[in-house]
Structure 1
Amino acid sequence: MTARLSLYQKAENELYKMDSSVKTKFYDFCHQFRLDPDHPSLDLKPLKGDSRIFRAKIDRSYRALLARAGVGADGVQQWLIVAVRHRKDVYEELTVAINRITGEIEFVDLGVVGQSVLQRAGLQLTPAKDEHPAPAEPTPAPVVTPQPAAPAEPLLIGCTPEDLRRLGVADALIGPALAVTTDEELDQLIAGAPRLTAEVLTGLGSGMSVDEVEREITQPASTELEPGFENDMAAALTRTAVTTVDDDIRNVLAEGDFRAWKVYLHPTQRKIVERNYSGPGRVSGGPGTGKTIVALHRVARLAAALPPGHGKPILLTTYTKNLTADLRSRLTSLMDPALLGRVDIKHIDQLAQSVLNENTAPGAQRSLITDDRALDVLREVLFEHDEQRWDAEFLFDEWEQIVLGQSLATRQDYFKARRAGMGRALNRPERAVVWKLLEQFALRLNGMGRETWAQAAERAARYEMERARKIQTRAERKADIGGGDLAHLDDNSSAMRYLRHRYRHIVVDEAQDLSPAHWKMLRAMAASGPDDLFIASDTHQRIYDRQVTLSTVGINIRGGRSSKLTLSYRTTQEILDQAAKVVRGGTYDDLDDGTDTLDGYHSLLHGPAPEYVACADWTDEITQLAEALKQWRADITQPTEDGTVRDPSGTMAVCVADGDMAGRVAADLETKHGITTATLTKDGPQGGGEVHIGTMHRFKGLEYQKLAVIGASDGILPRTAVVEKYETTDPKRYERELKKSRNQLFVATTRARDALRISWHGRPSPFLPL
């Protein structure tokens, strides 16, 4: 009798971390079980606590735990591997159930719960006995844990069993959940909990109320279930995240691939993707929570619903060029070529340039100037006017945030403009001086035939807003005359195309870094209506000094059209805990009038704690870095069971504070330690080296299996020479600069999937959670 095997997602993550010898034997077990689950060598037996869970023998020490999951449409018995455990960690009380909220199969492992919690909950675990046990192994001496003199207060005080059931907590974990008294005990419970239970308990443990958890976690995950669902394992299997065939299992074990993070949509995410919004919608969440995945699946879903045609009515955009290439690559794996051809994929400044090219006569285009070069021009203006009250950086911020951000055309407009969040207040005479200086700056750039990126975006926004105004005027005139056109034009003529919005749907990833001008341009490019704009953002990852309130640029997200993701798939809880401490205590906006927090943000994956390394000097820091990279390379290239050696290229990275340091690190690693490198640029990695090296800005949106942050010293993070001059002259600017530096470090540390290493010489950065 043959069988069909599926691998529970949590078991997949656990297997990834196991020794390669166990993985090899596990694959052999899967192959044998699929051919004949009743083969005597597998010793398949049910556990006493739940007749639907069976244990089977992988080798002398390890057991597979399986749930019988009904019969498929082809008559083949289906089995779900829910865990792989050492035989000493298999207990009779292990259970599976179908969640009353999500309809997914859930595996409950009480073996990871602390003994004191089990005792308080009135539970006792019984080791499952093998019929033919392996020879006894030495048993370590028992560790005696002193008991507290008096029982501590429950951590989830105020929650009732009925509350936890309503929120979707697995029945077997309700008692232990109400018995925990410390964060450590709660973490133990979460480690063995199914997905929804883990999210609910994490939310409650982080201070969310029962109502908040129900609204933000439980309700988005709920699905309609038929009567009798709790006994239909075959139907539940279709709702459960699994790997379904032997080849897939082999790939997981051999490649260590985080496919669940890359392609799987959690129920909360699926509802966001499939929802019909009456206007702009938004999804927010910390790094690795799946915001980009939601955005990509949202694009695919919108494309599939398009009427037949050949145009590109959907725009997918983000802030940087290298992220755009990454989005294009991912979207290619989700969509067939015909539908992909209906999607315009451009980074935001490329989009602005397209608009300017369409609206500028040949030969009249202005060349773009970098911000650094523009600052030099502004310093020249200040020097020529012998102006010492203002520094170039302050005036450049005023130029981008206020003048361009609000499209101010005259001095009177500037006098009336609001400057909320800019820090230093300006009276009317001071505004007059600032306006004169900025006017001279703009004239100087214009005389050079140059413009900044922000100027280009603002001009593009004005062109698109004028186009939208003409479209609106035409619509109103048509309505006045009963729906007819004033002129008979070919629908495909350039004039008629101009009188239609460019896009029907716009999806924006990494939205927190866009400027007000970018948003005005995007708002004008799509008609207001159902599913017009979809935004993915996390203001904790804002690394450019751009403050935007969406409602002020015509984008209103109301009526529950905003969702928040709290579960990370990319990295471990240990890395997330340390990264969150970098930005803890700061106040972050939600791109509107509210605030955003990391409350409830967590990962179901666990791994080693980040490594903090103090070094004697630069040479010592590079030497120790090289040793770590060589060890990482050895780990990654360890041969698989079939002798395959994985290519480590692109799996390891070194993140630094600035471009000069990146070049120095690359040179030292290559010339002194024989480690090949590739430098991250706006166009992606340049060079064929194994280790990617780049600045914190370049790592935005990327991910690596193992990552090192070096040079994390005081004076570099933050840049003392840049930041301290504002401490007394412009305290609000000083706080903004510190927050920006913290955000950069937060982004850098959350690029690591499995291993994070942070080093410094001299004094460590005050941002490090040491």
Structure 2
Amino acid sequence: MTATNPAPTGPVLHSDLTQAQCDCLDELPLSGRHLVSGPPGSGKSLIAAHRAVHLALTGRPTVLLTRSNLLRQLLQPTLSGLTVPGTDLNVSTVHSWIRTRFGHSAVATADGWFDWSALTAMAAESIDVSESTVSPHLVVDEGQDLPPAFYKMARLAAVSITVLADECQRLTDTNSTLDEIASALGAATRRHTIAGNHRNTREIASFAEHFRVGGVRPVLPFRSGPRPEIRRYSSSKSIADDIAALAVRAPKQRIGVIVNSLRTGADLMRCLERANLPSEPQLYSSAAPSGRYRDLDLTRPGVVLVHRASAKGLDFDTVVIADTETDAVADPTEATLRMAYYVMATRTRERLILAWQGTRLPRHLEGLEGWAVLR
């Protein structure tokens, strides 16, 4: 009788996983509380997806959480491609999960979050001492953008928690440092690191270093490419014309246009819709309840316009930061501003353009001639 190999029962690892990413996954036990930190481009979101699949194989429900709805949309197809049939695995925004978990008891507060003390008390009252399969595994991506109080609640509401974070990429007013996350999760929390930058070129990463706040200086990538460009424009239409030209020359690339002003985003979208591009441009609005401006296809080529608050975790072949002049009056040494540009600059794989309008170069872009081309 000819022996046959049994069908594999575990998840199929993503073909793009590096050895360092595999090692990071292998050293994470399937229980407990874990905090994984790493720089932009180290693959934290990919690790988060694999980690969620591994935990779902234990038989408990597992939820991959994000703060951003746009990041949730980006992770959904990745998770779908990895999920083993029959497992209870979902990806959700934190807001949606909390409303599902606590129902009408999850009362919104003025900061856009919830009464964490009340939710923590309810989570404590419902601790599953029988160890049934009710309490979920939680995996949190971009965990630095959640408040410490969330983690104090979550440690009681979940059977295990794995958080992936980079404190140099905090973009919200209610955020957490790595120490704050670890403290909120408790003394038994194990900390792990993942190194490497597999997204940016050396030129992009070197430029981004001028904006990094705190943390350990990451090792620069070896891959090389064009230097970032700082370009002056006369109008939004001239910016849109350049973006359209990029899209026509490279129809298979994904071009991310990041704005600080919703008005700029709308103006650019109107111009791009008239430009007869190879692929229809997409614009994301967190205010849209559903439909065209809420549900995007982030896997297809073309132009995607997003507000900087929604850029976390995304990546593109080319990034255009379209309205840097909106930061001209800000203190260029201010940490929030620097972190915003660190995040935006590191979203690109190949090319970075920082656009500005006006008569004077914005102060936070001064002194960068050695790392960027001024046009």
TM, length-normalised to structure 1: 0.41
Q: Equivalent residue of 2:309, what SS? A: coil
Whole-angstrom CA distance in 2 between matches of 1:748 and 1:458: 34
For residue 330 of structure 1, what is the aligned residue in structure 2?
78
Kindly report which structure 2 residues correspond to 1:210-225, keeping only aligned pairs within 5 A, or say none: none
For residue 126 of structure 2, what is the aligned residue in structure 1?
467
For residue 55 of structure 2, what is the aligned residue in structure 1?
302
Q: What is the one-letter code of the residue matched to 2:44?
A: K
Shift of 1:601: 3.0
Are 1:764 and 2:368 counterparts? Answer: no
Are 1:602 and 2:220 counterparts? Answer: yes
Q: What is the one-letter code of the residue matched to 2:344?
A: A
Kindly report which structure 2 residues correspond to 1:183-202, keeping only aligned pairs within 5 A, or say none: none
Q: Equivalent residue of 1:315, what SS? A: strand
Q: What is the one-letter code of the residue matched to 2:220?
A: H
Q: Equivalent residue of 2:356, what SS? A: strand
In 1, are the aligned partners of 2:38 and 2:195 still within 8 Å (CA)? yes
Kindly report which structure 2 residues correspond to 1:201-240, keeping only aligned pairs within 5 A, or say none: none
For residue 345 of structure 1, what is the aligned residue in structure 2?
91
Q: Equivalent residue of 1:288, what SS? A: coil
Are 1:744 and 2:375 counterparts? Answer: no
Cα distance 1:608–1:515, how it changes in 2: closer, same or farther (>3 A)? Answer: same
Cα distance 1:741–1:684, how it changes in 2: closer, same or farther (>3 A)? Answer: farther
Shift of 1:674: 5.2
In 2, are the aligned partners of 1:318 and 1:347 still within 8 Å (CA)? yes
Q: Equivalent residue of 2:211, what SS? A: helix
Shift of 1:350: 0.8
Residue 186 of structure 2 is aligned with which of 551, 555, 561? 555
Are 1:626 and 2:236 counterparts? Answer: no
Whole-angstrom CA distance in 1 between matches of 2:265 and 2:248: 24
Q: Equivalent residue of 1:546, what SS? A: coil
Shift of 1:267: 1.9
Segments of 5+ residues of structure 2 without an aligned counterpart are 1-12, 287-293, 370-375
Q: Equivalent residue of 2:135, what SS? A: coil
Whole-angstrom CA distance in 2 between matches of 1:510 and 1:541: 8
Are 1:579 and 2:208 counterparts? Answer: yes
Are 1:287 and 2:40 counterparts? Answer: yes
Segments of 5+ residues of structure 1 without an aligned counterpart are 1-259, 375-399, 401-452, 476-495, 588-595, 638-645, 725-733
In 1, are the aligned partners of 2:53 and 2:89 still within 8 Å (CA)? no
For residue 372 of structure 2, what is the aligned residue in structure 1?
none
Whole-angstrom CA distance in 2 between matches of 1:664 and 1:457: 39
Whole-angstrom CA distance in 1 between matches of 2:235 and 2:118: 46
Task: Choose 1 or 2 for highest CA Rg.
Answer: 1
Q: Equivalent residue of 2:263, what SS? A: helix
Shift of 1:679: 0.9
Whole-angstrom CA distance in 2 between matches of 1:659 and 1:458: 34
Residue 102 of structure 2 is aligned with which of 356, 359, 378? 356
Q: What is the one-letter code of the residue matched to 1:566?
A: A
Kindly report which structure 2 residues correspond to 1:265-280, keeping only aligned pairs within 5 A, or say none: 265-277=17-29, 279-280=32-33
Shift of 1:656: 1.0
Cα distance 1:670–1:314, how it changes in 2: closer, same or farther (>3 A)? Answer: closer
For residue 612 of structure 1, what is the aligned residue in structure 2?
230
Q: What is the one-letter code of the residue matched to 2:303?
A: V
Shift of 1:709: 1.0
Q: What is the one-letter code of the residue matched to 2:336?
A: K
Q: What is the one-letter code of the residue matched to 2:317?
A: Q
For residue 167 of structure 2, what is the aligned residue in structure 1?
539
Cα distance 1:702–1:331, how it changes in 2: closer, same or farther (>3 A)? Answer: same
- What's the RMSD between the two structures over aligned residues? 3.1
Shift of 1:605: 2.0
Aligned length, in residue pairs: 340
Q: Equivalent residue of 1:702, what SS? A: coil
TM, length-normalised to structure 2: 0.80
Whole-angstrom CA distance in 2 between matches of 1:299 and 1:355: 18
In 2, are the aligned partners of 1:696 and 1:744 still within 8 Å (CA)? yes
Residue 455 of structure 1 is aligned with which of 108, 111, 114? 114
Whole-angstrom CA distance in 2 between matches of 1:580 and 1:350: 35
What's the CA shift string for 1:297-334, capped at 9, x where partnerless?
Answer: 22222333x25xxxx43221111222122222101112
Are 1:567 and 2:196 counterparts? Answer: yes
Whole-angstrom CA distance in 1 between matches of 2:116 and 2:15: 33
Q: Equivalent residue of 2:282, what SS? A: strand
Shift of 1:516: 2.4
The structure whose RCO (Cα within 8 Å, separation 6+) is larger is 2
Are 1:717 and 2:327 counterparts? Answer: yes
Are 1:654 and 2:257 counterparts? Answer: yes
Q: What is the one-letter code of the residue matched to 2:187?
A: N
Q: What is the one-letter code of the residue matched to 2:356?
A: W
Whole-angstrom CA distance in 2 between matches of 1:545 and 1:455: 14
Percentage of matched positions with identical amino acids: 21
Q: What is the one-letter code of the residue matched to 1:677?
A: P
Whole-angstrom CA distance in 1 between matches of 2:42 and 2:187: 24
Q: What is the one-letter code of the residue matched to 1:749?
A: A
Cα distance 1:284–1:765, how it changes in 2: closer, same or farther (>3 A)? Answer: farther
Q: Equivalent residue of 1:507, what SS? A: strand
